[in-house]
Amino acid sequence: MSKLDAKIPAGNISDKWTDHKDHLKLVAPNNRPKIDIIVVGTGLAGASAAASLGEMGYNVKAFCFQDSPRRAHSIAAQGGINAAKNYQNDGDSVYRLFYDTIKGGDYRAREANVHRLAEVSGNIIDQCVAQGTP
């Protein structure tokens, strides 16, 4: 059992993230400028993390291996992400995306992480569209 699991009360998989957030120690807004955060990688994930943390008031330093942050693999990615957008008469749901993702991964994925991905997938798609990601 890891230290993280010891702090989170056992419960339903759909409540694990909420329970974890409820037990985190918070950083007061006036202390955020005193904290330096290093982000390694400037693809979609790294750039999004750096931008979000910077907006929150942290000191963020982003590093990339390439000559330019625009050469990240995310720019030329061939994959994608599915989302439970639940359009009218679509039949989507967080549970259906969760189940399909677990099943597609031959039941080898961490269920709590996949459930969280299914929960936030719609917001991820919306953020990528707002950033102009093709």
β-strand pairing of 36-40 with 59-63: parallel
Q: Tell me the pLDDT tens digit for each residue of 66-112.
A: 777 666 666 555 566 778 887 878 888 889 989 988 998 888 888 99
pLDDT band per the 50, 70, 90 thresholds, residue 56 = very high
Please report, as a single letter, which amino acid is at residue 80.
G
**Pairwise CA distance, residues 98 & 96, whole Å:** 5
Q: Using CA atoms, how far apart are residues 134 and 28, in angstroms rounded to an integer?
A: 36
Distances (CA, A) of 40 to 14, 52, 56, 127: 30, 15, 18, 20
> What proportion of the chain, given as a percentage, has pLDDT over 70?
81
Q: Examine the pLDDT at 39 and tell me if it is beyond 60.
A: yes
Q: Are 74 and 45 in contact (CB under 8 A)?
A: yes
Q: Where are the domains of the chain?
A: 31-69, 81-134
